[in-house]
Structure 1
């Protein structure tokens, strides 16, 4: 191993790109031509000067243990194309980024990142001190006012569902999306973003293909169930009440104790709307056997702060959330540089995956999918698309239609070559969405998606 530690693969670097434009531009800077005064250290830092259109070169430095980035270019994308290009250069050509002493401009930034508080601020996407604690009495009054607004919104939504059923599901295709969007806006006004999101999903179903009335009825029933659960939340057991609060859109908080483990970074992908980009990172504890979801958010047009390349393992502490976010956790502290995953997480067959999803639904009826690892499965075609079949048994899981149309499916087929593979993904009522795969011949993680999933 070289003094700079483990070098990433080009695929791991490109998985950090905030969008396709950055990915393409960064790939163009992954050669020695535009770079000078490059160097790296045993602590995981990489730096260099990149020539641009101006007279002065851009100063770029990356802390790969975060990862975190600093560049003097004006781009608002994080990481910018220069940071991606520098990492690609470092990953592809050991001689192009030699061991060296960091220059003053890079050392100053790296020294500022040496404290745990600064690293947490970087992950949170801000550089200033944390907000001052609010007055408890004022916070309670705000919570009460918000709860009253959500209750009013839930009652209005119940009336909307009653009107839908009274007029017949078939009429929903004639009313258009405008009425649904208006209802969703009312839920936003009621400070219930979770209800607003579900209303928008309902509005997208009419006319969406064969069998849409049945899907609309199923989803309407789940929205009705969530409405009624909120309106009678005082009668629910606390674990279920916590699930309902997070499902309507109340913010959950991470609560201790922290869990330290060697966390395998299994997948990372983004989804976006007009206002927000959400990044999901799945990790699995090698010792604890726990799978956790790390979420990070970025304003429209800006990438989220958290970025962990799939295929690496980090020694870190996470703190889990409660309620419907019980899979969700917050990355608190990272110790040392990432290293490659030596083996995939343990898995099971298709029946065990379905059983795990069923148990999770018992605690959270609104759960769309559950993380599972399938072991010894073979991708095979079916009448409706593709499925992952147990190599030694009759069980199989259908691959979600959207995943089946993506490049990731063809990567999975290439990894398999007709033989059994290990696949990590999300198992839900739409099928199985594959996110990462491993063949029996190599421990290398093959990333199957870094884009939005349906």
Structure 2
């Protein structure tokens, strides 16, 4: 694998940063000054020593060719992945000034590289044996599944009563009740082993303090939660694809059982969301040959970034397998056959009218879907009386930007990229509007990240 010679852009490196502070600190280390004994290997690795505040420099090594995305090792005490030293090293390597020359890795770097790849191979081998042993007692597995289903049914029934009490007493009472009762209800859903219901209940509890118009939003979410409860209680009569969607929304874990699909996957976007318990990373991929869009999800404990990172704007020659469920874009990353490489490929775009229609069609398969991945073609960011919208350059239609998009600094990057001219934008389109994640200026292949 000699693809390590293909340089990434600074934007692609900084898109791997776990937060804004790491991005800023890593940028300061992207020059040759603090680095010594840097090098890159043909197998897809970069290493170097970075001078820090202590007497010994930090040993930093990055495996760019790792099948699950770049992997990092640094002797610094940071708990962030990648740390600022790994980001700085990659920025130094991404430059065109030859600061990181090809060579053989030092012993400390080679030991980690060989150890990691051996562990990866052992894990792949163990995965097959674990699968075989997991099916050794299907009867015990069936009984466990039945017991959990009974607990979820009891929890869903209790939640239906809670919603009925809320509506009988009137929505205005939700503001006086406060969050504690909702948190207690969510905890009971956790006890019922229905984390999906628990998450939605917590969202309900936050709505009464979310600003003007909250009663309408609360009623909408109550209706969706009631629909999910009823779908679970009547799941035996649902089509299998919709039943799989319901199980996923309830919080029952599924495995990616779809056939592996090998393609040239363009990394469209990557961003994190976090709460007090978990950091969730979403990575959107587009298959250049299959014309399919796939979503990779990875998780990290609160305060820690997930390990899976992929550089936006590059392509992967890899396999992905789909998760079950009607209209579900989620997939699992399988075997990767080469390191990420640049490619002159962009997803085809649609009009704003077609985007809204596509979201509506998808809701038939998954009524609880907040948004769908959409690429808009030839749109212009324009201001409105209360925010911003993406106006179709060829029609009189437009999509409003979500409040999330308006709060992100990426909005100004999009406006600057457009300069009043049409651009292509990938993002998530839903009932709250459109959230842009990546954009391309007309006539260029360079992706500009907006998240």
Q: Residue 38 of structure 2 corresponds to which residue in structure 1? A: 38
Q: Residue 89 of structure 1 corresponds to which residue in structure 2? A: 92
Q: How big is the shift at 1:95? A: 1.9
Q: Deviations over 1:162-193 (max 9, x none)?
A: 01100111111111111111111111111111
8 Å CA contact retained: 2:345, 2:445: yes
Q: Deviations over 1:123-165 (max 9, x none)?
A: xxx99x9685263232222211111111111011101100110
What are the residue-to-residue correspondences of 1:310-389 with 2, within 5 Å?
310-323=312-325, 326-389=328-391
8 Å CA contact retained: 1:120, 1:332: no
Q: Residue 390 of structure 1 corresponds to which residue in structure 2? A: 392
Q: Deviations over 1:100-144 (max 9, x none)?
A: 1222322333334556x717959xxx99x9685263232222211
Q: TM-score, normalised by structure 1?
A: 0.93
What are the residue-to-residue correspondences of 1:52-91 with 2, within 5 Å?
52-65=52-65, 66-91=69-94
Could you say what secondary structure the match of 2:88 adopts?
A: helix
8 Å CA contact retained: 2:4, 2:42: yes
8 Å CA contact retained: 2:327, 2:365: no
Looking at structure 1, the residues matched to 378 and 439 of structure 2 have their Cα atoms a distance apart, in angstroms, of 11
Q: Residue 102 of structure 2 corresponds to which residue in structure 1? A: 99
Looking at structure 2, the residues matched to 154 and 207 of structure 1 have their Cα atoms a distance apart, in angstroms, of 25
Could you say what secondary structure the match of 1:197 adopts?
A: helix
Looking at structure 2, the residues matched to 212 and 428 of structure 1 have their Cα atoms a distance apart, in angstroms, of 18
Looking at structure 2, the residues matched to 379 and 121 of structure 1 have their Cα atoms a distance apart, in angstroms, of 47
8 Å CA contact retained: 1:379, 1:418: yes
* Equivalent in 239, 246, 249 of residue 247 of structure 1: 249
Could you say what secondary structure the match of 1:304 adopts?
A: coil
Q: Residue 183 of structure 1 corresponds to which residue in structure 2? A: 185
The two structures, once aligned, show a CA RMSD in angstroms of: 2.1
Looking at structure 1, the residues matched to 409 and 9 of structure 2 have their Cα atoms a distance apart, in angstroms, of 19
Q: Residue 258 of structure 2 corresponds to which residue in structure 1? A: 256
What stretches of structure 1 of length at least 5 have no aligned partner? 450-454
CA gap 1:372/1:119 in 2 versus in 1, 3 angstroms: farther
Aligned length: 443
Question: Which moved further from structure 2: 285-294 or 295-304?
Answer: 295-304
Q: Residue 402 of structure 1 corresponds to which residue in structure 2? A: 404
Moved over 6 A (4+): none
Question: Is 1:111 the equivalent of 2:90?
Answer: no
Q: Deviations over 1:245-273 (max 9, x none)?
A: 00010001101311000000000000111
8 Å CA contact retained: 1:252, 1:323: no
Q: How big is the shift at 1:324? A: 5.7
Could you say what secondary structure the match of 2:340 adopts?
A: strand
Q: How big is the shift at 1:280? A: 0.3
Could you say what secondary structure the match of 2:188 adopts?
A: helix
Q: Residue 452 of structure 1 corresponds to which residue in structure 2? A: none
Q: How big is the shift at 1:11? A: 1.5
Q: How big is the shift at 1:223? A: 0.4
Could you say what secondary structure the match of 1:95 adopts?
A: coil
Q: Residue 272 of structure 1 corresponds to which residue in structure 2? A: 274
Looking at structure 2, the residues matched to 325 and 383 of structure 1 have their Cα atoms a distance apart, in angstroms, of 35
Looking at structure 1, the residues matched to 443 and 244 of structure 2 have their Cα atoms a distance apart, in angstroms, of 44
Looking at structure 2, the residues matched to 76 and 212 of structure 1 have their Cα atoms a distance apart, in angstroms, of 38
Q: How big is the shift at 1:313? A: 0.9
8 Å CA contact retained: 1:120, 1:333: no
Question: Is 1:412 the equivalent of 2:410?
Answer: no
Could you say what secondary structure the match of 1:157 adopts?
A: helix
Could you say what secondary structure the match of 1:363 adopts?
A: coil
Could you say what secondary structure the match of 1:279 adopts?
A: strand
8 Å CA contact retained: 1:344, 1:422: no
8 Å CA contact retained: 1:296, 1:304: yes
8 Å CA contact retained: 2:3, 2:341: no
Q: How big is the shift at 1:57? A: 2.1
Could you say what secondary structure the match of 1:337 adopts?
A: coil
Could you say what secondary structure the match of 1:23 adopts?
A: helix
Question: Is 1:160 the equivalent of 2:170?
Answer: no
* Equivalent in 292, 297, 300 of residue 298 of structure 1: 300
CA gap 1:171/1:24 in 2 versus in 1, 3 angstroms: same
Question: Which moved further from structure 2: 335-344 or 254-263?
Answer: 335-344
Could you say what secondary structure the match of 2:23 adopts?
A: helix
8 Å CA contact retained: 2:3, 2:44: no
Q: How big is the shift at 1:45? A: 1.3
Q: Residue 133 of structure 1 corresponds to which residue in structure 2? A: 134
